[in-house]
């Protein structure tokens, strides 16, 4: 393609990206971002051009492109405006914003305004739930958007104002009397242009002291300390972090990798973005310590494509860390310890948060989860031993190393120690990200932290941990949100995201928002999951559109039974959250819907 061939900078950039990875193929998705940035979309000849760069067929590239929502195979406008369509944003007016933008631009969702300036889309949860509704303009986020603000966003784009992230608000909020560590620095030292903790401020507040200490320790002693602390993964599954690190071979036969999961796409969840945007060096320090402990030299941070601003903040911080020797050869002067970190952006696919799908995506492929075994510690990225950890998990690590396991165990409870970033969204007075000890109840979070419901709104249920955790009724606000209690209640702690459902949103539309999400996001490899998600979604829609039968609920439960435990990854278990718990706790709502549609039918 002439336009691309003539662009020496683009080719050089692609070559640079390729050099980051042991297999240049891994640069495919980043390269597609670069090409799309230039052309706004990926026409046939661009696909052919990229295929040539990666020594493969255009079909192979097409397979990758079409897996990811952010890539376009049909013409797009100069600017992309995306409105979040998941629960928290829906509850706070996202649908009205979409309608307003449709009207203003004279287009439907998915289309481009006649002047070719602006394409409008809706996206699944954009990870800004506590500042809902979110509108992204060229992937820079605007928060708490209302109709007027949405119109201004579009006007500014048309006027040629460069798109930029709107600075964050008064977060993170905190409750009196809680010992903060994850968010302490950003509250006290957030001095950067985006309120982030600059490297200077970071260093002044004991930054990289933990890395220094870790480097003075034996690698296995670091693992032991983390094991002792009882830290459990914050990505959703809650696996003990130290134990996971212990699975890595002690004598590397192949290079080891640390893969950092910053894909954060679970509806309701927005804590990793906070950590990266406001305190990137905490993450880098956590990564460095972890990589040292597991005998890895390369750290790959996979960040969801929508988090453009966070990726930029992180990239800058990595460069600073390299400059100052916190990354690079002989880290902090320690002979033989070489570390480097790279940020790889995804391109819009929730499943890439599943750790093996993430590795596929990092390798430049469709995000298909891999069958296990082999587990990542045996064969992960590029078939080498790999540890995958969530951003928040790694952000805990420096504090554990610095202050010790015993200190850490002083927070939270026996089986779930430490603090968690709980994210409270929906029609509450003070939606926000609250650092609280693990095991805090939903009641405390909703009533005390978030100040209870807004005037005129009443809670009809809540989502206790991200879409996969399903829904609880208001009668269950006393549940302690920790791993074991949540498991007892047939849910999961998940990501600590609490989305309150109000009476105006309604339980059935809320349940539908999550089922619809899972339908949209299944990778589609396994028959029972691919078809089951679609079927569940179609059945669910009927309860909203008035053609449902009460037996449909049994079909929904049964199709889940046919998928749960029988597929490559645990995705059907995630779908089971809203379906099973939705039916268990809100059966009367379903029944009422059927009754009402029947009486509506008999009066017409």
Partner 1 sequence: MPKITLNGEEVEFQEGQTVIEVATERGTVVPHYCWHPALSVVASCRICQVEIHGPGPKRLATACNTPAVDGMVVTTESDDVSKARAGNLEALLLNHPLDCPICDKAGECWLQDYTYEYGASTGRNDFPRRKLEKRKDIADHVLLDQERCILCTRCVRFLDDYAKKPELVVTSRGERSTIDIFADQKVTSEYSGNLADICPVGALTLKEFRFVNRVWYLRGTDSVCPSCSRGCSITLDVRDNELNRVRPRTNREVNGWFICDEGRFGLLDVYHPGGRLEHVRVDGDDAVLEVAARAIAERLKADGDLLVLASPDATNEELFLLKRVVGGLDGKATLAFAKVETADGDDILRTGEPAANVAGLRFQGFEELDAAALKRALGAAKTAWVLDRNVHALDPRPGFVVVQAVTSALADDADVVLPGGTVGEKEGTLTNVDERLQRIRPALKPPATVPGDFRALLAVGEALGVDGLPRTPGEAFMAWADTFGGTELTLAGLPRDGLLRGEAAAPAAKEKQA
Ligand X SMILES: Cc1cc2nc3c(=O)[nH]c(=O)nc-3n(C[C@H](O)[C@H](O)[C@H](O)COP(=O)(O)O)c2cc1C
Distance CA 408, CA 230 (A): 8
Q: Binding to partner 1 by residue 566, rule CB under 8 A? A: yes
Binding partner 1 (rule: CB under 8 A), the pick from 75, 410, 527, 546 is 527
Closest CA to 499 of 513, 480, 485, 487: 513
Interface of this chain with ligand SF4, residues 361 to 390, rule: CB under 6 A: 369
Nearer to ligand SF4, 52 or 528 (CB): 528
Strands (E), 39-139: 79-84, 118-123, 135-137
Query: Does 571 sit near ligand SF4 (CB under 6 A)?
Result: yes
Residue 269 sits in the site that holds partner 1 (CB under 8 A): no
Contacts with ligand X, residue ranges (CB under 6 A): 233-237, 239, 241, 261, 263-266, 351, 353-355, 388-390, 393, 569-571, 574
Q: Does 316 bind ligand SF4 (CB under 6 A)?
A: no
Ordered alpha helix ranges (H), 2-83: 2-5, 8-19, 28-39, 44-53, 58-65
C-alpha to C-alpha distance for 304 and 351, rounded to whole angstroms: 11
Between vectors from CA 141 to CA 138 and to CA 143, what angle results, nearest 5°? 145
Structural contact between residues 229 and 409, judged by C-beta atoms closer than 8 angstroms: yes
Contact flags string 575-604 toward partner 1, x per CB under 8 A: ------------------------------
Q: Which of residues 538-567 bind ligand SF4 (CB under 6 A)?
A: 567
Conformation bin of residue 498: beta by default, left when phi > 0, alpha when psi is -120 to 50:
beta
Which residue's CB is nearer to ligand X, number 86 or number 241?
241
Measured from the CB of residue 369, what is the shortest distance to ligand SF4 in angstroms? 4
**Residue nearer to ligand SF4 on the CB measure, 438 or 559:** 559
Q: Closest distance between partner 1 and the C-beta of residue 54, in Å?
A: 11
Q: Which does 543 bind (CB under 5 to 8 A by kind): partner 1, ligand SF4, ligand X, none?
A: none
Sheet with 432-437, strands from edge to edge, namely 432-437, 419-426, 497-502, 459-463
Q: Which stretch binds ligand SF4 (CB under 6 A): 209-217, 248-256, 330-338, 518-526?
A: 518-526
The residues, ordered by sequence, that sit 6+ positions from 420 with a Cβ below 8 Å of its Cβ are 234, 392, 412, 435, 436, 437, 438, 440, 481, 493, 496
**Interface positions, 376-405, toward partner 1 (CB under 8 A):** none
Give how many residues touch ligand SF4 by CB under 6 A: 14
Per partner kind, with CB cut-offs from 5 to 8 A, the member of ligand SF4, ligand X, partner 1, none near residue 532 is partner 1
Residue 521 engages partner 1 in binding (rule: CB under 8 A)? yes
Residues listed for the chain? 604
CB-wise, 339 or 388, nearer to ligand SF4? Answer: 388
Return phi, psi of residue 578, to 5°: -65, -35
SS (H, E, C) 177-244: CCCCCCCHHHHHHCCCCCCCCCHHHHHHCCCCHHHHHHHHCCHHHHHHHHHHHCCECCCCCCCEHHHH
Q: Considering CB distances under 5 to 8 angstroms, the limit depending on partner class, which of partner 1, ligand SF4, ligand X, none binds residue 265?
A: ligand X
| ∠ Cα 368 369 375 (to 5°) | 145
Binding site for ligand SF4 (CB under 6 A): 351, 369, 522-526, 529-530, 567-569, 571-572
Binding site for partner 1 (CB under 8 A): 44, 47, 56-63, 66-67, 349, 366, 368, 371, 373, 519-528, 530-535, 538, 555, 558-559, 561-563, 565-568
């Amino acid at each position: 393609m002439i336009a691309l061939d003539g662009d020496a900078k683009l080719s050089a950039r692609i070559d640079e990206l390729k050099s980051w990875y042991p297999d240049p193929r891994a640069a495919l998705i980043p390269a597609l971002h670069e090409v799309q940035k230039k052309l706004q979309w990926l026409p046939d000849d661009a696909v052919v051009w990229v295929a040539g760069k990666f020594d493969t067929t255009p079909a192979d590239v097409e397979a990758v492109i079409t897996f990811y929502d952010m890539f376009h195979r049909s013409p797009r406008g100069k600017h992309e405006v995306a409105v979040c369509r998941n629960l928290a944003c829906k509850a706070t007016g996202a649908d009205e914003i979409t309608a307003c933008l449709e009207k203003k631009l004279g287009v439907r969702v998915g289309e481009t305004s006649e002047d070719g300036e602006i394409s409008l889309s809706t996206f699944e949860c954009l990870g800004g739930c506590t500042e809902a509704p979110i509108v992204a303009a060229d992937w820079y986020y605007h928060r708490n958007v209302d109709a007027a603000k949405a119109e201004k966003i579009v006007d500014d784009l048309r006027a040629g104002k460069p798109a930029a992230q709107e600075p964050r608000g008064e977060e993170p909020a905190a409750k009196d009397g809680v010992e903060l560590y994850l968010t302490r620095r950003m509250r006290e030292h957030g001095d950067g242009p985006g309120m982030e903790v600059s490297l200077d401020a970071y260093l002044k507040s004991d930054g990289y002291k933990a890395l220094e200490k870790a480097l003075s320790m034996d690698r296995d002693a670091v693992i032991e300390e983390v094991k002792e602390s009882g830290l459990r993964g914050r990505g959703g599954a809650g696996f003990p972090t130290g134990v996971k690190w212990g699975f890595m071979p002690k004598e590397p036969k192949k290079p080891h990798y640390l893969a950092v999961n910053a894909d954060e796409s679970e509806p309701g969840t927005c804590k990793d973005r906070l950590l990266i945007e406001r305190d990137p060096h905490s993450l880098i320090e956590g990564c460095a310590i972890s990589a040292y402990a597991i005998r890895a030299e390369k750290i790959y941070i996979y960040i969801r494509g929508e988090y453009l601003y966070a990726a930029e903040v992180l990239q800058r911080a990595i460069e600073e860390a390299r400059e100052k020797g916190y990354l690079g050869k002989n880290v902090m002067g320690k002979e033989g310890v070489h570390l480097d970190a790279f940020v790889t952006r995804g391109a819009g696919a929730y499943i890439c948060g599943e750790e093996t799908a993430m590795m596929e995506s990092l390798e430049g492929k469709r995000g298909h989860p891999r069958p296990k075994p082999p587990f990542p510690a045996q064969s992960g990225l590029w078939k080498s031993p790999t540890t995958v950890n969530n951003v928040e998990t790694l952000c805990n690590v420096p504090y554990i190393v610095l202050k010790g396991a015993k200190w850490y165990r002083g927070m939270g409870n026996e089986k779930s120690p430490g603090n968690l970033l709980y994210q409270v969204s929906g029609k509450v007075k003070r939606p926000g990200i609250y650092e609280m000890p693990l095991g805090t109840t939903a009641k405390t979070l909703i009533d005390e932290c978030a100040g209870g419901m807004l005037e005129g709104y009443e809670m009809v249920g809540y989502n206790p941990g991200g879409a996969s955790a399903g829904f609880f009724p208001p009668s269950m606000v006393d549940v302690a949100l920790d791993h074991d209690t949540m498991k007892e209640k047939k849910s999961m702690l998940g990501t600590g995201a609490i989305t309150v459902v109000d009476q105006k949103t309604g339980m059935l539309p809320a349940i539908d928002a999550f089922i619809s999400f899972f339908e949209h996001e299944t990778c589609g490899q396994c028959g029972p999951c691919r078809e089951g998600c679609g079927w569940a979604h179609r059945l669910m829609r009927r309860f909203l559109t008035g053609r449902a039968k009460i037996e449909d609920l049994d079909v929904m439960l049964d199709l889940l039974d046919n998928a749960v435990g029988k597929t490559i990854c645990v995705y059907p278990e995630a779908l089971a959250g809203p379906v099973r718990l939705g039916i268990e706790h809100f059966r009367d709502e379903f029944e009422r819907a059927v009754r009402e549609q029947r009486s509506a039918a008999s009066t017409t």
